[in-house]
A and B are shown apart, each in its own frame.
Chain A
């Protein structure tokens, strides 16, 4: 199986603080990899460096064998890499449907074609499918800002899939989501992984969610990888227990 994502010796410093300290990891096609670690362990900074939101101080990032270190997020997205953020990032003053269309429209034709073509960039049916897939039918024409937190979270995740990405990095998708919606979210992510062979990297603090969803777990502490392996092995690793609980 080929590596979709390859990170080598990635480092990010903010003044005297090193948030990511020489992280290397590899994610194969179709894998669901969890990245866990205590608060401040560098998980979100790692995502930001991989996805071009931050320029790494050192190290390289490759997607499908192509070096993409420091590439602009919009260009990376066009290569098939999508993400969600730790904090909710929907567009509150667009409807659910328009949020979804926006999430896919930049993959449709040239700039000029998007100006002269259909208002929905031909994404109306895809957006409707995604709305049904994430069970948001009754909310399709509501403003995203008027949805509950959990519903916005589902929309946020759904937006990441509108462009049909090969690699999706999800930053705490389960945060603040109730148990019913969490089950829906897990089910939908598994479906997409199975049907579209999409590869996921998931940062999560909800251990039940991440352990039941992911096939492999990477544990970060103080910016470094301290453990990597199957969920059961990671759960029992003394270094991981120490990182979370202290001495």
Chain B
């Protein structure tokens, strides 16, 4: 193990400890923000699988977030257990994501972006117009927070730990996948599908899987999102929210394993920190994002990677595009 990689593990452990300990001294609003970060990070990790590793653009991640959130809202407000919502939403996300992957077999890049954008719009219209199912513009409220073996998670801090635990499990699963031959095949699909095919990589299957797993994680994020805000309505699952998730992946570093976590941190927490600038905070936020994209299009982790590369030539930070990068 190189010294740099060891420091990386130490830093990751330090961040995890901080994420466990620090919220205990935070007010409920701070805890809610961190919970939102954890949930959005799950969705962004999913999008990073689809976009960052497999190179398939998707503007529909908020639609999957919505599918997961509405599934949970409908089931749990009708007395079904949280677990059933988790399983159903995960399966639904996988299935719908798999189907959405089919257009990607025929169209790429901005054309694919338009296909996913159309799906996003269609999902939003369903959330808004199918009032018999989704409550329409009034949404669904009083979504209960789950209990596990009699242990209630109704308190903000307790539910934050549930979201953090879910994020850790998702990260462990994604890490395993990215380190497996699947991760290498995703990178091959992104980098050079023609060559990948000639090496036996079934790019059709891997494209569909990349969409399916990305969508499933979007839905799982939605499952945790609904009890967090205790109310869902269509305004939380718009194209702007999909673009926000895309921003998280790109700002953090598309194709870097920890990129979405940092990107979600920037997208969720930075606007709050910039509120001290009062009316200027959105302008400051936009300028910061633009400066970052101009000077470092590979995101914050890309910037970090460039800095440490001279000391880390034999041990790439990310596996692949440097963690599979």
Contact = CB atoms under 8 A, between A and B. Distances in A.
A89 B195 contact: yes
Contacts of A94: 184, 187-188, 191, 320, 324
Given A91-B187, A93-B320, A94-B187, A105 B181 contact: yes
Interface string B159-184: 00000000000000000010111101
Contact of A106 (B177, B200, B322): B200
Contacts of A105: 181, 184-185
A115 B194 contact: no
Given A89-B195, A91-B188, A74 B200 contact: yes
Contact of A93 (B180, B181, B187): B187
B135 interface: no
Interface stretch (B113-121, B201-209, B225-233): B201-209
Given A74-B200, A102-B185, A107-B200, A91 B180 contact: no
A73 B314 contact: no
Nearest to A81: B198
Contacts of B319: 98
A193 B324 CA distance: 34
Contacts of A115: 177, 180-182
Contact of B198 (A82, A114, A116, A120): A82
Contacts of A73: 197-198
B200 A93 contact: no
A1 B202 CA distance: 32
A189 interface: no
Contacts of B191: 91-94
A44 interface: no
B97 to A, nearest CB: 17
A217 interface: no
A102 B180 contact: no
Interface string A35-57: 00000000000000001010000
A85 B195 contact: yes
A191 interface: no
B200 to A, nearest CB: 4
Interface string A66-83: 000000111001100011
Contacts of A82: 198-199
Contacts of B25: none
A236 interface: no
Contacts of A85: 194-195, 198
Nearest to A107: B200
A112 B117 CA distance: 31
Contacts, number: 103
A interface, size bucket:
35 or more
Contacts of A174: none
A102 B321 CA distance: 14
A238 interface: no
Interface residues of B, number: 32
Interface string A85-107: 10001111111001001110111
Contacts of A53: 194, 197-198
Given A89-B192, A93-B322, A102-B188, A117 B199 contact: no
B200 A163 contact: yes
Contact of A98 (B180, B184, B199, B314): B184
A177 B141 CA distance: 68
Contacts of B197: 53, 72-74, 77
A95 B316 contact: yes
A115 B179 CA distance: 9
A71 to B, nearest CB: 11
A111 B200 CA distance: 12
Interface string B307-325: 0000001111001111011
A83 B184 contact: no
Interface in B267-323: 313-316, 319-322
B181 A143 contact: no
Interface centre among A78, A98, A102 (most CB of B within 10 A): A102
Contacts of B321: 93
A176 B161 CA distance: 58
Most buried by B among A77, A91, A159: A91
A121 interface: yes
A114 B320 contact: no
A191 B195 CA distance: 25
A135 B187 CA distance: 26
B285 to A, nearest CB: 31
A119 interface: yes
A141 interface: yes
B199 A106 contact: yes
A29 interface: no
Contact of B195 (A91, A107, A121, A143): A91
16 contacts: A53-B197, A78-B200, A83-B198, A85-B194, A91-B191, A91-B195, A93-B187, A93-B321, A94-B184, A102-B185, A105-B185, A106-B200, A111-B182, A116-B180, A119-B181, A121-B181
Given A53-B197, A72-B197, A93-B324, 5 more contacts: A74-B200, A89-B198, A93-B187, A119-B181, A143-B322
Ranked 9 nearest A-B pairs via Cβ: A106-B200, A77-B200, A89-B195, A105-B181, A114-B181, A73-B197, A93-B321, A141-B314, A119-B179
